[in-house]
Amino acid sequence: MQSFEYASPTTLQEALSLLSTQWGEVDILAGGTDLLALMKDYIHTPKRVVNIKGIKELGGIQQTSAGLRIGAIVTIRELLENELVQKEYPALIQAARGIRGMQLRNMGTIGGDLCQRPRCWYFRNGFGLLALKDGKSLIPDGENRYHAIFPQGQAYFVSASSFGPPLIALGARVKLASTGGTRELPVEQFFVAPQREGEREIALKPNEILTEILVPPAKGVRNATYEIRPDEGVNWPLVTASVALRMEGNRVASARIVMGHVGPTPVQAVKAAAWLKGKQITEAVAEEAGRRAVEGAKPLSQNGYKVQLAQVAVKRALLAAVAK
């Protein structure tokens, strides 16, 4: 780890004043479960680290008229144990349950989950997020069993976020603060696919802090997350799917289907979701929706199996959402 200066401000304004306008100079520390590893591997070499865990206004989960407000430094543990979340947002609880291990649950934060860097092994081995060599990505001809089946341009890594897919399915927004003020983005616009080395995979600017997540009310919205894991350990899932279904009686009025770990951003299955409109979720309908969700997938040499996994994850998430 390269040495750095450190601050642990207690107000958001103080924290914002410590940020930089350029990536790479300052890193924001919350749970630390990703950042410290990145720094130890010299993937990140910030000159300053700003610990935001002491900023009270970034914590807490509250019910508001617009839905649920989840502070960025809310831990996975707090989220799992929150009754408001448990009551209306099984998709979030199921995603949180996929984050295994007491330690990660106690340390990791929801903001950290959204801002964590991808797990692509070329990136983690120092070959860059796009793993470019002479302008061309190493990944299509390399070891790509865990990579994107919905790549975007040269971006073949997959978003590592556990909460991105369910938050997008639920129509959540993130609030980003800078010294100039705050802005809000739908979560789906928070994730981006960089096309040049050095660009980030999130829309956050280096002088901004993700302060909170706003999740619309989900009363009557059937929602679920289904993860396909390689084993029972602390590992990233191979594929996940989150769904949110606004129902009219037992028929779907509108739907969102979002797949995780299949592309550089969470991937929305827009057509499959539209197809669900007016339908009752049966095994056959769920299966067909799964098939439609993976249309257009462009698997690489070693990750064709993820197409089937995504299809199954969508099917099972839909069935879980409507299960009693």
Contact 176, 206 (CB under 8 A): no
Q: Is 121 in the site for other proteins (CB under 8 A)?
A: yes
What residues from 155 to 194 belong to the interface with other proteins (CB under 8 A)? none
Residues 79-108: x where in contact with other proteins by CB under 8 A, - otherwise, as a string? ------------------x--xxxxxxxx-
Residues 11-50: x where in contact with other proteins by CB under 8 A, - otherwise, as a string? ---x--xx-xxx--xx--x-xxx--xx-xxxx----xxx-
What residues from 259 to 318 belong to the interface with other proteins (CB under 8 A)? 302-305, 308-309, 312
Q: Which of 195, 197, 234, 282 binds other proteins (CB under 8 A)?
A: 234
CA distances from 248 to 89, 216, 253, 255 (A): 18, 18, 6, 11
Contact 160, 236 (CB under 8 A): yes
Lookup: tokens for 234: 């602390």
Identity of the residue, 36 or 84, whose beta carbon is nearer to other proteins in the bound complex: 36
Identity of the residue, 133 or 183, whose beta carbon is nearer to other proteins in the bound complex: 133
Name every residue whose Cβ is closer than 8 Å to that of residue 103 and which is 6 or more positions away in sequence.
none
Contact 105, 80 (CB under 8 A): yes
Q: C-beta of 48: minimal distance to other proteins in Å?
A: 6
Q: DSSP letter at 70? A: E
Identity of the residue, 60 or 206, whose beta carbon is nearer to other proteins in the bound complex: 206
Sheet holding 181-186, edge to edge: 61-64, 67-71, 209-215, 173-178, 181-186
Identity of the residue, 31 or 164, whose beta carbon is nearer to other proteins in the bound complex: 31
Q: C-beta of 101: minimal distance to other proteins in Å?
A: 2
Q: Is 51 in the site for other proteins (CB under 8 A)?
A: yes
CA distances from 71 to 57, 150, 202, 204, 208 (A): 8, 31, 18, 16, 15
Q: Which of 200, 205, 229, 271 binds other proteins (CB under 8 A)?
A: 229
Listed ranges 183-191, 208-216, 231-239, 241-249: which one lies at the site for other proteins (CB under 8 A): 231-239
Contact 253, 244 (CB under 8 A): no
C-alpha 86 chain-centroid distance: 19
Q: Is 2 in the site for other proteins (CB under 8 A)?
A: yes
Count residues binding other proteins (CB under 8 A): 72
Q: Is 56 in the site for other proteins (CB under 8 A)?
A: no
